[in-house]
């Protein structure tokens, strides 16, 4: 069991790792979609605000991307999305 606040803080930190995948679908009007991870696993939520590009930020179905995976409130989500 952790003692003190510092131990509890370690428990709450988000773990991240770089991943690659293909955009399963993305709705530009709503600003979100999902990415299928290479190697399987659950689909990852993608929000337009996490796309690293200039101008209008959107993804295309079938597009290859690299991204960081974090654990969101409803499951895995993509951050720092870099279109290939």
- 54 is in which domain, residue-wise? 16-83
Place of tokens 């690293």: 52
Residue 9 domain-assigned?
Answer: no
Residue 77 domain-assigned?
Answer: yes
The whole-number pLDDT of residue 31 equals 95
Structure tokens at 59: 């993804």
User: CA-CA distance, 18 to 66, in Å (whole number)?
Assistant: 7
The whole-number pLDDT of residue 10 equals 37
Residue 10 domain-assigned?
Answer: no
* 9 — pLDDT class (breaks 50, 70, 90): very low
pLDDT at 32 over 90: yes
- If one compares 64 and 3, the residue with the highest pLDDT of the two is 64
pLDDT at 4 over 90: no
How many domains are there within the chain? 1
């Amino acid at each position: 069991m952790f003692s003190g606040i510092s131990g509890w803080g370690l428990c709450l930190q988000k773990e991240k790792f770089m991943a690659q995948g293909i955009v399963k679908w993305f709705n530009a009007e709503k600003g979100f979609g999902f990415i299928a991870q290479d190697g399987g696993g659950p689909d990852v939520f993608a929000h337009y605000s996490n796309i690293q590009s200039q101008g209008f930020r959107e993804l295309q179905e079938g597009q290859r991307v690299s991204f960081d995976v974090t654990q969101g409130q409803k499951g895995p989500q993509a951050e720092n999305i870099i279109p290939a």
